Amino acid sequence: MVINMDVLKRIPVKEQDPKVRARNFEEVCLGYDKEEAMEEASRCLKCKNAKCITGCPVSIDIPGFIKAVEAGDIEEAYQVISKYSALPAVCGRVCPQETQCEQRCIRAIKGESVSIGKLERFVADWARVNDVKPEAAKEKKSQKVAVIGSGPAGLTCAGDLAKMGYDVTIFEALHEPGGVLVYGIPEFRLPKDTVVKSEIENVKALGVKIETNVVIGKSTTIDELMEEEGFEAVFVGSGAGLPKFMGIPGENANGVFSANEYLTRSNLMKAFDENYDTPIAAGQKVAVVGGGNVAMDAARTALRLGAQVYIVYRRSEEELPARVEEVHHAKEEGVILKLLTNPTEILVDDNGWVKGMKCIEMELGEADASGRRRPVEKPDSEFELEVDTVIMSLGTSPNPLISSTTTGLDINKYRCIIANEENGQTTKEGVFAGGDAVTGAATVILAMGAGKAAAKGIDEYLQNK
Amino acid sequence: MYRIVKKESLNPTVTLMEVEAPLIAKKAEPGQFIILRVDSNGERIPLTIADFNRATGTVTIIYQIVGATTQALDHLKEGENIQDFAGPLGRPTETEDFKKVAVVGGGVGCAIAYPVAKKLYEQGCEVHSITGFRNKELVILEEEFKKVSNKLVLMTDDGSYGTKGLVTDALKTLIESGEKYDAVITIGPLIMMKFVCALTKEYQIKTLASMNPIMIDGTGMCGGCRLSVGGKTKFACVDGPDFDGHEIDFDEALTRSSIYKPFERRAHEEVCHLYEMEVK
Ligand SMILES: Cc1cc2nc3c(=O)[nH]c(=O)nc-3n(C[C@H](O)[C@H](O)[C@H](O)COP(=O)(O)OP(=O)(O)OC[C@H]3O[C@@H](n4cnc5c(N)ncnc54)[C@H](O)[C@@H]3O)c2cc1C
Ligand SMILES: Cc1cc2nc3c(=O)[nH]c(=O)nc-3n(C[C@H](O)[C@H](O)[C@H](O)COP(=O)(O)OP(=O)(O)OC[C@H]3O[C@@H](n4cnc5c(N)ncnc54)[C@H](O)[C@@H]3O)c2cc1C
Ligand code: SF4
Ligand code: SF4
Ligand code: FES
């Protein structure tokens, strides 16, 4: 039994050694065992007015499940979580807990917050290993609902509707369901075959049908689903869309990739595994431009494929939008941060391949609309970074495939679908939307929160129809 | 899983397959493509919809065997299944307002050009088709093209069949002889399309080129299929695959198409080797 002498401190969680993991695709964090989890659970005060819940976008009954963990009843803990979340093993791993549930934890006032994410992960992993499934709906309804996209928003919305008894079908453009969970977030943070697949299986076990290889807007349209196929409501969770580029010279040279392409090749198509056919031009010296979670993932993937890796970001470390844990892991593994640096040109050799990147140093000026200090160029500070591969990780802009083929579905000036935050209702009757397609690139749990809100919105709509 | 209902070899390296895919057949328009995966460890590759039959719910693809995936595909027999088959993707070729069009196809590109010629012809447009091949052995779709063209000029590089010369020679001859085209639609190897577009630019004839960059998802997510058109970055899978031929940066596209060459050669060798072992 682990004895925790200091209740102000969390039970530490085991991780793979940075030197070893920098060269493999196995998961970085190894998670708690049952004893450690029970010990950590005992740190929770089971607050009556639990602030942690207010920090969770899907309002998980955190003290409720932690109480069951402390008592050693992990199955009960899982059923508590399952009432609120369809993807606990995913959220326990990739949720930015430190700025959500854990930030509001009462324990955090004096010491370290309860390790809510790691406990959630433990419970979900335990349920998978012990083959415990969420409970399916007892009564079925006849109304059909279509869900577009099988990312966290779509899976959550579908799962919740299925629990209410609706007949739900997910339509997914790719050959594999999961959205960013399968093509974006790498194996070493979120194992695909074990964690993601089994949570998707759980959603299916609730009665949700998933049709892959169906591109809405091309294979069929929302209007057709509603008018010809008998779907009475539709949820759009089609994700963030096309990658952005900087518009600097040399950007279409060979060796310049979007983070989406690089990560898709590695994750969805498993290019890192020699048993799969898809190639990846990994690079020897790689610059990743950007500072979000996506940039960290691309950098750490390139590192594992054998490259020396720079993160090039125009603000300082404080402003990095990636999760603190991810930045910390990246640094530990040997990713080099080139902060306050902005690329101005990609240098190309005679064969059309990247041979370097011209950059300029930046300094922080006045705060801008987002409240962050705006980076400005330092005069005469241009220099060349010697790299053979550049990965652009600058965010995405929505794909018009769905909005342009659906009558009456309005988008805003950023081309995101307009939807009511409370219930997901769009400008078209019976059509709801949520997740990155509405907010632009955000987080797994916000997408799930939106999927959940929309499931309620759809239920109300269909009840009153 | 998508069943192969017919398989036919058109020439030593080009095969036609008819695949059961009713949803795609229902929607397909000339100029669109599908993305397939032969098996669960396979690569996603794009192939144009060469024909479709809404009644039987089948889609025809015509592919050239160039590397690992097309070889693996060619290993499948009638009655067997393709793992994944998604589409129809991309925008249909613009065929509406044309009265007289020259359709210029090169090699396996003729398979992509054929449904476009057919649609134009069915719409009452006058169609002049020019198809080019390296030699007689490689000629495909001759009869099919004849049926949907008011005029067909068949070229071979070595003169072993049809007229000796390049498709650009034939196009130039037709234009010089006074044929007035509303548009030229060209589909084939990048280098051929580059020269067709250079020629039609001289004569200021609107030209559409069907681009086939490397793709992964084909739904507008990865950015791998990007190319420069009129100085702007475009994504072939959602904005194309057809673009204004006079605006495309062909040299950049040529460089980009070679990104995975070193990898592909290796994949090819490994697969050949495997098949050899199976034969033994
Ligand atoms: C590399 C990377 C790392 C990230 N790391 C984190 C992290 O650590 N923590 C975190 O909280 N968030 C992270 N995020 C963000 C998070 O993954 C997303 O915010 C979240 O996945 C959005 O969910 P979604 O359901 O809205 O969309 P997506 O997950 O993008 O799913 C959309 C799905 O819809 C499908 N689709 C799109 N168009 C169509 C169509 N026309 N027809 C049918 N299907 C369609 C897509 O193929 C896809 O499967 C990361 C994102 C990336 C790219
Ligand atoms: C929109 C679109 C439509 C297409 N339609 C057809 C079609 O109808 N029939 C057909 O035979 N082919 C078509 N192609 C090309 C086809 O996708 C490639 O031939 C195929 O991906 C090769 O896969 P592979 O694994 O067999 O060969 P690989 O091992 O990937 O490549 C072998 C050789 O082919 C070249 N190559 C690879 N990908 C492409 C590509 N996308 N375009 C051109 N050359 C490539 C490589 O540089 C290499 O020299 C199309 C491509 C696109 C983008
Ligand atoms: S889902 Fe995310 S925010 Fe909610 S409790 Fe779990 S880790 Fe915290
Ligand atoms: S706020 Fe912290 S201590 Fe209180 S119930 Fe939530 S996790 Fe437990
Ligand atoms: S193939 Fe990925 S964006 Fe076009």
Query: What pLDDT shows up at residue A22?
Result: 85
Inter-chain touch B255–A253, beta carbons under 8 Å: yes
Query: What pLDDT shows up at residue B261?
Result: 67
In chain A, how many domains are there? 3
Residues of B within 8 A of A401 (CB-CB) are 219-220, 238
Model confidence at A115: pLDDT above 60: yes
Query: What pLDDT shows up at residue B263?
Result: 58
Cα of A113 from ligand 4 centre, angstroms: 8
CB-nearest to B216 from A219, A242, A265 is A265
User: Which of these ranges, A318-327, A360-369, B271-280, has the smallest mean pLDDT?
Assistant: B271-280
Round to whole Å and give the CA distance between B44 and B217: 7
Average pLDDT of every residue of chain A: 91
Round to whole Å and give the CA distance between A156 and A235: 11
Round to whole Å and give the CA distance between A241 and A222: 18
The CB of B156 under 6 Å from ligand 2? The reply is no
Return contacts of A84-87, CB within 8 angstroms, 24+ apart: A84/A58, A84/A59, A84/A60, A84/A452, A85/A58, A85/A60, A85/A156, A85/A448, A86/A134, A86/A155, A86/A156, A86/A159, A86/A160, A86/A199, A86/A202, A86/A203, A86/A448, A87/A152, A87/A155, A87/A156, A87/A181, A87/A199, A87/A444, A87/A448
Query: What pLDDT shows up at residue B278?
Result: 38
Confidence category of residue B279, pLDDT binned at 50, 70, 90: very low
The CB of A391 under 6 Å from ligand 4? The reply is no
B261 to chain A: closest CA residue: A279
B255 to chain A: closest CA residue: A352
Q: Tell me: cis bond preceding B88? Omega within 30 of 0 counts.
A: yes
Inter-chain touch A279–B264, beta carbons under 8 Å: yes
Query: What pLDDT shows up at residue B94?
Result: 83
Inform me whether the C-beta atom of residue A281 falls under 8 Å from chain B C-beta atoms.
Answer: yes
Neighbours of B107 (CB within 10 A): 21
A234 and A247 inside one domain: no
CB B118 within 8 A of CB B104: no
Inform me whether the C-beta atom of residue A385 falls under 8 Å from chain B C-beta atoms.
Answer: no
A320 and A255 inside one domain: yes
Tell me if B197 is assigned to a ligand binding site: no
- Is the model more confident about B253 or about A4? B253
User: How far from B69 is each of A203, B90, B145, B213, CA to CA, in Å?
Assistant: 33, 21, 28, 16
Cα of A59 from ligand 5 centre, angstroms: 36
Q: What is the pLDDT of residues A127-161, one digit of tens each?
A: 999 998 888 877 888 899 999 999 999 999 999 99
Model confidence at B98: pLDDT above 70: yes
Best probe residue, ligand 1, of A444, A445, A446, A448 (max atoms within 8 Å of C-beta): A444
The answer to whether residue A330 is domain-embedded is: yes
CB A74 within 8 A of CB A125: no
The answer to whether residue A420 is domain-embedded is: yes
- In chain B, where are the structural domains located? 2-89, 100-257
Q: Could you report the predicted ipTM of this complex, rounded to two decimals?
A: 0.86
Model confidence at A331: pLDDT above 90: yes
Segment A200-216 shows an average pLDDT of 94
Query: What pLDDT shows up at residue A4?
Result: 54
CATH (domain of A360) = 3.50.50.60
Segment B167-171 shows an average pLDDT of 90
Residues of A within 8 A of B83 (CB-CB) are 175
Q: Which residue has the CA at smallest separation from atom 2 of ligand 3?
A: A95
A181 and A316 inside one domain: no
Model confidence at B264: pLDDT above 70: no
Confidence category of residue A288, pLDDT binned at 50, 70, 90: very high
Model confidence at B269: pLDDT above 60: no
Q: Where do the H-state alpha helices sit in A95-219?
A: 116-129, 152-163, 180-183, 197-205
The answer to whether residue A1 is domain-embedded is: no
User: How far from B152 is each of A39, A159, B113, B171, B200, CA to CA, in Å?
Assistant: 81, 57, 13, 11, 19
Percent of chain B with pLDDT over 90: 57
Percent of chain A with pLDDT over 90: 66
Percent of chain A with pLDDT over 70: 99
The CB of A242 under 6 Å from ligand 1? The reply is no
A255 and A277 inside one domain: yes
Model confidence at B79: pLDDT above 60: yes
Model confidence at A221: pLDDT above 70: yes
Model confidence at A300: pLDDT above 70: yes
Model confidence at B275: pLDDT above 50: no
The CB of A101 under 6 Å from ligand 4? The reply is no
A248 and A386 inside one domain: yes
A389 and A257 inside one domain: yes
Containing structural domain, residue A371: 243-395
Q: Which of A379, A395, A411 is the last residue of a domain?
A: A395
The CB of A447 under 6 Å from ligand 3? The reply is no
Cα of A187 from ligand 4 centre, angstroms: 30
A150 and A255 inside one domain: no
Tell me if B125 is assigned to a ligand binding site: no
Q: Which of A102, A130, A158 is the last residue of a domain?
A: A130
Residue B10 backbone phi and psi in degrees, to 5: -90, -35
Smallest Cα–Cα separation from A116: which of A139, A91, A134?
A91
A183 and A283 inside one domain: no
A269 to chain B: closest CA residue: B43
Query: What pLDDT shows up at residue B280?
Result: 34
Architecture category of domain B100-257 in CATH: 3-Layer(aba) Sandwich (3.40)
Q: What is the pLDDT of residues A353-398, one digit of tens each?
A: 999 999 999 998 888 777 778 889 999 999 999 999 999 999 888 8
Q: What is the pLDDT of residues A226-276, one digit of tens each?
A: 999 999 999 999 998 889 999 899 999 999 999 999 998 888 887 777 777
The answer to whether residue A451 is domain-embedded is: yes
Neighbours of B159 (CB within 10 A): 12
B92 to chain A: closest CA residue: A218
Inter-chain touch B23–A254, beta carbons under 8 Å: no
Query: What pLDDT shows up at residue B34?
Result: 95
Inform me whether the C-beta atom of residue A221 falls under 8 Å from chain B C-beta atoms.
Answer: no
The answer to whether residue A148 is domain-embedded is: yes
The answer to whether residue A58 is domain-embedded is: yes
* B2-89 and B100-257 share one fold: no
Residues of A within 8 A of B44 (CB-CB) are 175, 269, 278
A177 and A281 inside one domain: no
- Is the model more confident about A311 or about A134? A311
Cα of A367 from ligand 3 centre, angstroms: 31
CB-nearest to B220 from A175, A241, A252 is A241
Q: Which of A395, A417, A444 is the last residue of a domain?
A: A395
Query: What pLDDT shows up at residue B262?
Result: 60
At CB < 8 Å, which residues of chain B contact A?
23-24, 27, 37, 41-44, 68-69, 83-89, 216-217, 219-224, 226-228, 233, 235, 238, 252, 255-256, 258-260, 263-264, 267
**A261 CA closest ligand 5 atom index:** 2
Q: What is the pTM of this model?
A: 0.89
Q: Which residues pair with B228 in a beta bridge?
A: B233
Round to whole Å and give the CA distance between A438 and A170: 18
Kindly state the tokens that stand for A351: 């064969």
Inter-chain touch B267–A213, beta carbons under 8 Å: no
Residues of B within 8 A of A437 (CB-CB) are none
**DSSP 3-state of A176:** coil
Decide which of 2.40.30.10, 3.40.50.1820, 1.20.1600.10, 2.40.30.40 is the CATH code for B2-89.
2.40.30.10
Model confidence at B150: pLDDT above 50: yes
Chain A closest-CA separation from residue B200 CA (Å): 26
Chain A closest-CA separation from residue B209 CA (Å): 19
CB contacts < 8 A (A, B): 116
Round to whole Å and give the CA distance between B269 and B272: 5
Chain A closest-CA separation from residue B82 CA (Å): 12
